[in-house]
Structure 1
C-alpha cells in the first residue's frame, strides 16, 4: 500500500495530466469490481432467493422469527438491507475520519473490499432454510460495500480537477454498469442452461452469488495498486470536527455526531446532503426491491428478471455518459432535477404494470436504465465540489449513508408497507415520496454558493 506520493496536495491535485489519468484509470476499476455485487447480488438474485429461503423456514402463518421477532417472510430481505445501514452508520464515519487523519485510505479500502467480497462469496452456502445465514452475510457485505465506497469516493477530489469530476465520476459509473452487464450475461447463460451444466436451479443461483464475490476481490487489486495515499497535513483538533480517538466500532456513533456537527459549519453542503439522502434512498430501494416486485407481484420468472436487469445495465452506461454531456450544457444540478422527474413518472407507472406481462417490465427497466447511472454519477461529482479540503473521507462517510443499496429508510418503508397491506404494489408506490421530496429539497440548494462556501473553486457550469 502507498504512503505519501511525490505529487498531489491534501486535496485536489498538482499532478500532470498523464499522472492523473493513470490514477483515474485505476480508480475506475473499483467501480468495475464492485458493481457486479449491486447488479447480480442485490438487484437480481439475492432478494428473490433469500425470500424463498425465508419462506422455507416460515411457520404456518408465513412468519419467521429472527431473535424471537415475528417477521413476514416476504419482508425479511428488505429488513436485512435496512439493518445493514445501521452497522454501516457506525463503521463509515469512523473509517472516514481515520482515513483523513492518517492519509491512509488504501489499507482501509482493501480491508473493507475483501471483507465484503468474502461475505459475498460465502453466499454459496446459503441453501435450505438458512435465512439467518443469508441475512448475516447480506448485512456484512452491504456494510463492507458502504465503507469501501466512502474511501473510494474520497479519492475523487484528489485525482480529478474540479472541471473534470462530472466526466470522471460518470466514466466510473459507466464502467461499473458495463461490468454488471457482462456478469449478468454470464449469469443468464448459467441460470437458463443450468440443466445443461448439470446443476440445479438453486445451485446455479448460489454460483452466481459467489462469482460476484470472487469478481469483486480479483479486480479490487487494480485500484489498490494504482491509487496513491496522500497525507492530510494539519488535520486535527484545531480544525473542528476532529476524529474521535479510538478504533473500536463503538466510537462510530460519536464520530458520526462529530462529523455532522462539523458539517453545520457548511450549511449549504449539509442541505445538499439532506436532499441527496432523500432521493437516493428512493433510487437504492428501487434497485434492491425491483426483482422482489417482479417475481412476487408480477409473477415473472428469474430469466425475465435477469434479462430486464441486463437491459438496465446496458442502458445505464449510455445514460451515465449522456447525462454527463447534458450536465456540461445545463449544469449538474438541473440535470439531476430532470432525472428526479423521470424517476417519479417511472415509479408511478410501475404501480400499474400488469402481472405476467414481461414486455411492460422491460419498458420500465429501459426507463430506469436511462436515468439510473447519470443521477448517481452526477450526484457524486456535485457533492465532491462541496467538500472542504482535508475532509474528503469524513464527509463522504455521511454521503455514503444513502448510497449503493445501503439505504435504510426506503427498504424499511417498503417492508412495512408490505407487512401492513400484503400488497407489493402499495409498497412500490410508497417510494414516490422520496423523489418528490428530494426534488423540492435539491431545488432549494444554491450550489454555486455552496461550492464557494466550502472553499473550493467554482466551475464555469454547475
Structure 2
C-alpha cells in the first residue's frame, strides 16, 4: 500500500482500490434484500395473506384483529401501512446512532437478519393464521426499511460525486438481477408444485421462506467488505441517538432546498411504493389473473428494470439526474392512467404495463438516491439518509392506506388505482421547482458537471 493510501485510510477515507472493493460489496446488499421486495412483497404475500384472511373471515367477509372489523381484502394494505409507521419510529434513531457511533455495519447486520428471519418464518403461515402473517410482514418490512437507511448512508462514503449515479444504478441493477433470478426459480417451483409432491400452499410458503434465506446468506458479502468509519468518542448510542435526531431536524432547517427535494421525493415515491406493494392484489383480485401470470409479469419487470436502471443512468450523464427523473415521472403518470382502464382477464395488456413499469422503476429510484447523496452535508450521511428512507419507505404509508380504505368502502380496487396518479403529478411539480445545482452548493458539496 502506498503512503498516500495509508494516509487516506488513517483519515477514514478510501483509496481507489479500497473504494472499488467496498462498492462491489455494497452492490450485494441490493442483491440480498431485493428478493424480499420482489418475491415476497410484490408477488406472493399479498394474495396469499388475503386468502388466509378470507379463510378466517366471518360471513360478511370481515376479520376482527383486536376487535376491529377489517375487510379481509384490506388486511394486506393495512399491514403494509402499519409496518411503515413502525419503521418511522425506528429509522431516525438507527441513523442517528450510526453517525454518532460510526458503527453502521453492526446495525445493518441486526436489521437485515431480523428481517430475513421474519421472512423465513412465513413458512409457518397457513390455515387461518392471518395475525401471524400480518405480524411477520410488519417485522420484515420495517426491518428492511431500517437496513436501507444504513445501506444508503454508505453511498457518499464509497463513491466520488461524479460516480454516484453510476454506482447507485449498478446497485439497483444487482437487486433487480437477483429478483429476476429468484422469481424464475419460484416460477418453476410454483407451476410444477404437483410434480415436486407439493400443494399450491406449500409451494408458496417455500417461496416466501427461501427469500428470507437468500436475504440472510448474501448479506454476508457486504458485511465482510464494507467498513465502518471512526468518529470522535461520544455518549451512549441510544440516548445520544435521540438527541442527535433532534439536532438533525434542526440542522435540516438550515438546508431548505434539501428538504424541498425530500418533500418531492416523499410524494412521488409514495406512488411508486404503493404500485410495487399492491400490484399483485390488483392483478389477482380486480383483473382476475392467476398466480403464474403475476409471477411472469413481475419477472418481466425485474429483467427490464436492470436495463432501465443502467439506461437511465446513462441518460443522467447526458441530461442530468433531475431531468431524467422528471421524464420517468411523466411515464409513471401514463402507466397509472392506462392501468385504470386495463380489461379484466387480459394477460397481454397486463404484461405490456409490466414492461413499461420495468423500464422506469429501477432508474427513477436509483437516480433519486444518487441525487439526494449530493444534497447531504458531509459527516451527516446516516442521519440524512434516515430522513430519505422515511420518504422512501418510512412515510410511504399514505398510498397503501388509501388503497385499503378504498377497498374497505367500495369493494373495488379500480377506485384506488386512479388516486395514485396525483402522487406522480404533484411530485413532478415539486421536483421541477427544486434548483438542484444550488442545493448541492448549499450543502457544501462540489457540484457535478451534470446533475
TM-score range (shorter-chain normalised) is: over 0.9
Q: Is the 8 A contact 2:44 2:204 kept in 1?
A: yes
Corresponding residue to 1:362 among 328, 347, 351 = 351
Task: Please name the residue that 1:167 is paired with.
Answer: 166
User: In the alignment, is residue 343 of structure 1 matched against residue 332 of structure 2?
Assistant: yes
> 1:91 and 1:8, CA in 2 relative to 1: closer, same or farther beyond 3 A?
farther
- Distance (Å, rounded) in 1 between the aligned partners of 2:7 and 2:302: 38
1:407 deviates by: 1.9
- Given the alignment of the two structures, is residue 303 of structure 1 paired with residue 303 of structure 2, yes or no? no
Partner of 2:3: none
| C-alpha separation in 1, matches of 2:75 and 2:415 | 17
Residue-by-residue CA offset, 1:48-84 (whole Å, 9 max, x unaligned): 0001111111111111111111111111000000001
Q: What are the superposed Cα offsets for residues 329-354 of structure 1, whole Å, 9 maximum, x if unpaired?
A: 00000000000000000011000000
CA distance in 2, matches of 1:421, 1:60: 18
Q: Secondary structure at the match of 1:457?
A: coil
The 5 A counterparts of 1:79-98 are: 79-98=78-97
Give the corresponding residue for 2:438. Answer: 449
The answer to whether structure 1 residue 420 and structure 2 residue 409 are counterparts is: yes
2:391 to 394, 398, 402: 402
| Shift in CA distance, 7/58, structure 1 to aligned 2, threshold 3 Å | farther
Q: How does 1:153-232 map to 2 (within 5 A)?
A: 153-232=152-231
Deviation at 1:233, TM superposition (A): 4.0
CA contact under 8 A between 1:340 and 1:439: conserved in structure 2?
yes
Secondary structure, counterpart of 1:430 in structure 2: helix
Q: Summarize the Cα distance change of 1:128–1:209 in structure 2 as closer, same or farther, 3 Å threshold.
A: same
Q: Deviation of residue 420 (structure 1)? A: 1.5
Change (3 A) 1:406 1:141: farther
Contact 1:324 1:374 in 2 (8 A): yes
Q: Which residue of 1 aligns with 2:239?
A: 245
Q: Answer yes or no: is the 8 Å Cα contact 1:142–1:405 preserved in 2.
A: no
How many residues end up aligned between the 2 structures? Answer: 446
2: CA distance, partners of 1:8 / 1:454: 25
Gaps of 5+ in 1: 237-241
Classify the secondary structure of the residue corresponding to 2:95: helix
Partner of 1:37: 36
**Could you list the per-position Cα deviations for residues 199-241 of structure 1 after superposition, in whole angstroms to 9, with x for gaps in the alignment?**
00000000000000000000000000000100234889xxxxx
Given that residues 344 and 435 in structure 1 are in contact (C-alpha distance below 8 angstroms), is that contact kept between their aligned partners in structure 2? yes
**In 1, distance between residues paired with 2:384 and 2:399?**
22
Q: CA deviation at 1:258?
A: 4.6
Q: Which residue matches 1:141?
A: 140
Hey, what's the Cα distance between the residues in 2 that align with 1:8 and 1:455? 23
Q: Shift in Å at residue 15 of structure 1?
A: 2.7
CA–CA distance in 2 between the matches of 1:8 and 1:65? 57
The worse-fitting range, judged by mean Cα deviation, of 415-424 and 435-444 is 415-424
Which residue of 1 is the match for residue 111 of structure 2? 112
Q: Is the 8 A contact 1:288 1:405 kept in 2?
A: no
* DSSP 3-state at the match of 1:403: helix
Look up the match of 1:286: 275
Q: Which residue number in structure 2 is paired with residue 239 of structure 1?
A: none
Change in Cα spacing, 1:9 to 1:411, as seen in structure 2 (3 Å) is farther
TM-score by length of 1: 0.93
Calculate the TM-score normalised by the size of structure 2.
Answer: 0.96
Measure, in 2, the Cα distance between the counterparts of 1:295 and 1:432: 21
Q: Is the 8 A contact 2:55 2:128 kept in 1?
A: yes
Partner SS state of residue 227, structure 2 = coil
